[in-house]
Structure 1
Amino acid sequence: MAKTKKLSPTYPDLIVPVYNALKELGGSGTNNEIVEQIIKDLNLSDEIVDESHLGNVNQTELEYQCAWARTYLKNYGVITNSARSVWAITSQYTGTVELDAKEIIAYTSKKAAKKKAEKTKEVSDAEKNSSSPEDGDAENDETEFPDEIKPWKQKLSEVLMNMDPYGFERLSQRVLRECGFDQVEVTKKSGDGGIDGTGKLKINGIFSFNVAFQCKRYKGQVSAGDIRDFRGSLTTDIEKGVLITTGTFTKAAKEEASNPGKQQIDLIDGEEFMNKIAEYGLGVKPVTTYEIDEEFFEKI
């Protein structure tokens, strides 16, 4: 079966733009900041920005390809992730450096081939498709999957989509409580105007805000119209709105949410929601493993 042509640039074409984006951001940035900077630098259309990654309801194709580009840059030692979803340029690449994307890809492919050769003959059927990446299909490489697209996240995404609707609202309630919200209540009656719950957010133990939230379990994208509808449902006593989705937000939705002339709406997409679930250990447990850096022992 022929592959569907991607609108988004593929990871080989994004390696240098990711590096340049981090430089423009002052040397460090979050996943979202990097993607937004690339959209600006490459002047990408809404159609490209909003393209969903096949089989992944909570990630766009651009985000997926950027994740692989960051992974290759990390393997080469250009960038490092100092915290979850936060990346920084390493000291040896902070100056004026011309990167060669092909060289970076070749280095990682060689390293992956060596790792593959050292494996025992007990290779699973899934690993038989491992090869050097072609046409931007990094998932066929032996390179470790970026955090955003690790298998456990795919499974968690499926679990969230199959939850009871009220159960998902209660999970959102729990996540918001862990994030520092107080008096979080889930609205169960019909005709609530799109508000699924309310709560209070206290800043530094002094300032508090009345917050309303809405939960959308989407296999796709939340539109600008959804943002306007939610904003229209907020009563005068609500000072902040939060929209949570298992999917993603279109470029237009993000712009509508942050429109300076209107009430600001905070957005939590599927990727960020799952990160929060993992951060607070809600129904998930970490499995610790170690990857041996042979070069470290050879050069020490």
Structure 2
Amino acid sequence: MQIDKFVVGDYYNNYDLYKSLAIQNVGGVRPKIVNGVVQFIVITTSNEDVNISFARNPYADRIEGDLLVYTGAGLAGDQQIVGVNKRIVEQYARPFPIFGFINEGSAKGRRFLGLLELVRHYRETQIDSTRQLRNVWIFEFRIHPNPLTVPLAMASQLSASIILESKSRTKDEERGEVNLAVSKPEYVYEDEKNFAEIEDFRAKLLGINPYLFEELVKDSIERNGFYNVSVTKRSGDGGIDVVASLDHSHFFAPDIFVQFQAKRWKHSVGRKEVAELRGSLESPFGVLITTSHFTNQAIQEAKEKNRKPIVLIDGTRFSEILTVLHVPMEKYLPRSG
């Protein structure tokens, strides 16, 4: 029986998708193009156990909150905005439907996530299986689980309406192709080979459990001249994850109370997150540490005059700090076997 609608949470097998969407192969990114014009795109991601995913690919696609963080097409070498990557970007100008599915290994098929809205994309440096650096494109999609039912005949209208409403609701959100402010190692890594080593280190951080990541941040802070370091409760803390005070070795700023936020994220950290941290602060300044990267607008927000400063430490810089401080990583990293 041909499917005429998708219901969020329901499962669909390859035959269902073939009959309803007339696409031969389901998996990855599959655009439907008629006379050179994209009609829709089907994107399938995978839901794997963190340990399995980490062992196979620390950069694996990930759902974080309402965002699907998706790596562009192209397994070897630098990725370009061509082919299906170029087709994805076309949604900015023409809000055609992108159907999101997740492969959970179920015999029932792929579970429908909802319509996807491309929010932003950016270039990121990663390390490949041969330990060589390469540039990839990361796409951040907002998952829209409402409407619960998506009639295929109305999918284009629904997608356009959803995206219009979303843009209106998130006017201060960075959209389109954004530039990331990527740190360059300052101390022990000076050439491309060693930069590949530190990126390999950052890739490992992506596989750490988010709560263990907070403990790792605590460990690194204690090794860098702070005392009374503690991880806050997991709820009701206003976004603060770790608190600490500078010890007396800091002659010009002893006993200064500092609050930290730890984000073990794959997706980018933007202006909104920096502003929200500032609004939660009870300390003179805050520190935001992430395994990912900051947008340029996040950097600008952190340096706003006449406001509490926010120190930003991205995944590259944090990887270097952990190396310099000789933080033992074994108890934090997931097992690969």
Task: Identify the structure with the greater strand proportion.
Answer: 2
Task: Identify the structure with the greater helix proportion.
Answer: 1
TM-score (norm 2): 0.43
